[in-house]
Structure 1
Amino acid sequence: MAAEVVANVPAVSDALFEVTIPAPAPPGDSLPPLLWPDVRPRLAALAARPGAAAIFGATGHRWKLEPPLAIFELAEVETQLGLSLPADYRAFLLQAGRGGAGPAYGLFPLGRESGRWHWTGGGASDGDSGPLTRPFAHIRAFNPFDELPARPEGGAADDEWWERYEDAVYDPAHSHGLLYLSHLGCALREALVTTGPSRGQMWADYMAEGDGFHPLQNPDGTRMTFTDWYRTWLTAAERTLDEACRTSSPK
C-alpha cells in the first residue's frame, strides 16, 4: 500500500487578530453569487491523477462531493439552526456539495433524518440550534488546560484536581458557536465559527492532544475563512501531486 502524502498547509499561530463582523442576517432564501464553479472539475481531475489516493484523507472521501442542497433545503437548515450560515460556506452547500471531499478526512456530510438536519461523522456538529447560536466569545487562541494548577500527587487533592480538570476541559461553552466541519483523526477537529466576534473564521479544536483552540491562518497572517481553508487544501493537493510527478519523471 502506498504511503500517505500530506499536502503542505500553512502553519497556524495564536497571534491576536481582531475583526469587526456584522451580525448575521436572518435565514433567507436568496441565492448567493456563484463562488464555487471550479471545485467539482478540479476534484475530478485530482481523482484521475496517479498518486491521488496517497493524499492524506483521500481514501475516505475519494475526491467526491455529496450533492448540493436545494435552496429550500438550505432554508430549512437555517430555520432549524435559527441563524444564517457564513456566506461562503452557505454558497458551497448550494453550489458545490453538502459534504465529502475536503481538508483532512473530508467535510462532514449534512443530511436530513426524521425531518431534522444533522452533520454526520465522528465529531460532527449535531444540528442542535442551541450551541451554534450561542456566541463563540474568543478572538485569540486559548487552552482550558492553562486554567489548571499543577497536579498534586495522590490523595483527596488529586481527586479534586481531576474534578477541576473535567470542569475546565469538558465545559461545553468552549465550543459554543463552532460548527465542526472536518477531523484530522485522533479527535482533532476543525470548525467554522457561526456566531460571535470571530464569525466566519476557521478554528482548530486540538483539545484531544492538550493544545486547546486556535484560529487557522493564511500565510500572510490573516485569519482563514471557509473559502481560504478549502481552497488552500485544494491547491496544496494539486501542488503535491505536481511535485510528485516532477520528481518521479525520468530525467
Structure 2
Amino acid sequence: MEQANIFISCNPPLTADEVSAFEQKHSIILPEDYRNFLRFIGNGGAGPYYGLLPLHMYNWELDTVQDHFLTLPFPHQAAWRPNSGTIDKEALDENHTYFGNYWVQGTMRICHFGCGVYILLVVSGPKRGTIWFDDRTSDYGIYPAECDFLTWYETWLDDSLQNLKAD
C-alpha cells in the first residue's frame, strides 16, 4: 500500500512581537492555544472549510467596528436564535439589529464556513477561548461548537486524516 503524503500549508508563524502588537492594539490577550498556533504553526492557511483567516483579517467585513470591539464581552452563554424580524423591530439601535455587531462583539472571525457563515473565537467575556458559529445568514443564529480552538482544529486534522485513510 502506498503511503499518502500529507502537506498542510499554513502562512508563516508570527513573531512574539507581532502577536503582542495585535494584543496591545486591541487591548486583549488572545486565548493561549490560539496564540501558540499563531506563534508556532502559522498565521492562517490550512484549516476547516475555507481555511483559517490570517490574524489581520479577524473582522475584515465589519466596516463599522469600534476600536474597542474585541474588548467588549461576548453577549451569549448559550445558542441564540431569535426571530430576525422581531429583533429588528425591537432593536435599540443599528448595532442591535439581527445582523448588528453587538451580537458578535468580543469575537474574532477565524474561518469562513461559506455562504456568509463564520467561525468565531471568543476573546472577551465568560466564554473566552471557545469557538462559536455565526450562522445568522441562514437564520440559525449564533451557537457554540462546545470546544476551544485547539480541540476544534485537532478535530479537523483527525477527520482529514481519516478521510485520507478511507480513500
Q: TM-score, normalised by structure 2?
A: 0.85
Aligned counterparts of 2:152 and 2:73: Cα–Cα separation in 1: 21
In 1, are the aligned partners of 2:58 and 2:110 still within 8 Å (CA)? no
Partner letter of residue 231 of structure 1?
E
Corresponding residue pairs, total: 161
The equivalent of 1:190 in structure 2 is: 119
Give the number of the structure with larger relative contact order, counting CA–CA contacts within 8 Å between residues 6 or more apart: 1
Give the structure with higher Rg (CA).
1
Gap runs ≥5 in structure 1: 1-43, 48-62, 111-117, 150-161, 217-222, 245-251
SS at match of 1:144: coil
- Unpaired segments ≥5 residues, structure 2: none
**Deviation, structure 1 residue 82:** 0.5
Aligned with 1:236: secondary structure?
A: helix
SS of equivalent to 2:68: helix
**Which position in structure 2 is the counterpart of 1:40?**
none
* Ranges of 4+ aligned residues in structure 1 off by more than 2 Å: 44-47, 120-129, 144-147, 162-168
* 1:172 positional shift: 1.4
From the two aligned structures, give the one with the greater strand fraction: 2
Matching residue of 1:213: 142
Q: Decide whether aligned partners of structure 1 residues 125 and 136 sit closer, same or farther in structure 2, where only a CA change above 3 A counts.
A: farther
1:46 aligns with 6
Give yes or no for contact 2:72–2:124 (8 Å, CA) kept in 1. Answer: yes
Task: Give the distance between the partners of 1:146 and 1:127, measured in 2 at CA.
Answer: 21
Q: How large is the RMSD of aligned CA atoms in angstroms?
A: 2.7
Distance 1:211 1:164 in 2: 19
Per-residue displacement from partner, 1:109-163 (whole Å, max 9, x unpaired)? Answer: 13xxxxxxx21686589996411110002110002326728xxxxxxxxxxxx75
Alignment of 1:109-120 (within 5 A): 109-110=54-55, 118-119=56-57
On the 8 A contact 2:75/2:104 being kept in 1, the answer is no
